[in-house]
Every structure is written in structure tokens, then in C-alpha cells.
Homo-oligomer: A and B are copies of this chain.
Amino acid sequence: MYFRSNGSIGLCYTCPNRHFRFCQSLLSSSSTEFDAHAVKNLAYTAKQYLYHQGDMNNELFILREGWVMLTRLSDDGDRQVFRSVLPGDLLGFQQHLHGPAVYSAIALLDSVVCKVPNIVRLYSTQPELALSLASSEACDMMLTEMYLTNVTHRSARERIAFMVLELYHRLRLRGLNKGYAIQFPLKQEDIADTLGLTAIHVNRTLHALKDEGLLEIHKHELTILDYDALCSLVGSEFETSVPD
């Protein structure tokens, strides 16, 4: 996130840097303590779960490439999509480090993560990583709070505009955009379960946005057709700067 003088929240520009900083500190660490619990790289294919809600002994991951989605199934079958994890983001940290996972993590694209075992021991030997981790967590917290605000205060079209811009910006910060287009593995149902709408209504709204020339989703690729118009839908949370 970045902050304006009036305290309004802009999209998170330093956010991925926080993640990256944590990641890099970790990987470049030469402490013997850390060497003893070396970082492992793991590959997952699309549609594969990294872990399921309820799984025990979760560890901390850093997503190096791909796209991971965090979801949770309630008892009555409703599904909540919490957020997308993009390259450079952390995932897997929760209150009870080795308790049951609160949500499931599923790869939407072929993904590579590096697994950071024994975070507790890491803490004691490298306290500066702890601050970095906490800061990174606070960043995810802010993202979740933005979605909470988005869902409680906005209409369907505004919610979708927000979500699209949020994802686009995060990908762009990582250089994973192609001009105004990004790879977009989310189904309409995923959008619906993120924003608290029905897939049907997401479909209708998406169609309206396309007819109005704001954005287009085609073959797992999302293209922003009218960036400024989208921004004006979500208020002042996004800069209207033009991507390269």
C-alpha cells in the first residue's frame, strides 16, 4: 500500500517489496542455524492443492512463480475465496504455526514455492527477519481490510472493478503484465466467491463492463480497456498512472 497525505490508502506499492525483502533476507542468509534447515523449492501443477484446510503442520511458503488462491469451505458448503497469492508473496503463516490450516491453498497456474521450515528457530537467530515477516503479514492484513471495505460498501460492478485493478496492480508491480493485459486464471465463480456475489451476477456484470468498453476477459486473459473509467468506479484508491 502507499499512503496519501490525507491518509487514504492507495494500492500497495511497497507491499511486494516487503515480501521480497523477507524472501531475499531469508535466501541470502548465511547463518549456520538457517543452513541447517535449508530452503526447499517445490513445484505444483495447476489445480493442485498445496494444502487443505484442516491439514496439520503447515509451514511457511514463499511463492516464486505461478498463482495460488486461498479458499475456505464452510460447513454449509459456501466457499470463501480470501485472496490470490502472487509471485513474491508469503503464504502459510497463521496464528498456530503447526495447528490445522485455516484455509486451503490451491495452485491456479503451475507454481513454484520455496518452503521455509522451522520458522520458530529462524526467529531466535535472525530477529530482523521477524520484523520483516510481521510487516509482510500486516500488508496482507491491509489487503484483507481493503476487500472487507470493498465488499461492504460497494455495488457489484464496483467490487469487480476493484478486484480487477487490485490484481492488475500487484501483477504489474512484478512486471507480470503485458501492457493492459494480464494472465487471469480465475473463474467467474472464483470472483463471485471472493466478492460475495453469485457467479450469475458476476457474469452479467462482467458483460455490462465489456459492453461499456471497460474490461474484457477472454481465454484466461484479462484486458483493461478503459483504465481511468475503472479507477473512477472504485474511488481514489488507485492511481491513474498509465502502465508501460
Question: Residues on A close to B: CB < 8 A?
Answer: 1, 3, 5-9, 14-15, 18, 52-55, 72, 74-76, 78, 80, 82, 93-97, 99-103, 120, 123-124, 127-128, 130-131, 133-135, 137-142, 144-145, 147-149, 151-153, 195-196, 235-236
Contact = CB atoms under 8 A, between A and B. Distances in A.
A124 B52 CA distance: 35
Contacts of A147: 148
Q: Which of A5, A95, A133, A135 has the most CB of B within 10 A?
A: A95
A120 B131 contact: yes
Contact of A80 (B82, B124, B131, B148): B148
A124 B129 CA distance: 10
B3 A152 contact: no
What number of copies of this chain does the assembly contain?
2
A149 B76 CA distance: 13
Contacts of A3: 54, 96, 99-100, 102
B1 A95 contact: yes
Given A130-B127, A141-B140, A54 B95 contact: no
Contact of A142 (B1, B95, B235): B95
Contact of A138 (B9, B95, B153): B95
A195 B235 CA distance: 20
A131 B141 contact: no
Given A7-B53, A151-B151, A130 B123 contact: yes
B148 A151 contact: yes
Contacts of A76: 235
Contacts of A7: 52-55, 100-102
A153 B78 contact: yes
Contacts of A95: 1, 14-15, 18, 135, 138-139, 141-142
Contacts of A127: 123-124, 127, 130
Contacts of A93: 134, 138
Contacts of A139: 95
Given A14-B95, A74-B153, A102-B145, 8 more contacts: A3-B100, A5-B54, A7-B101, A72-B149, A76-B235, A94-B141, A124-B128, A134-B134
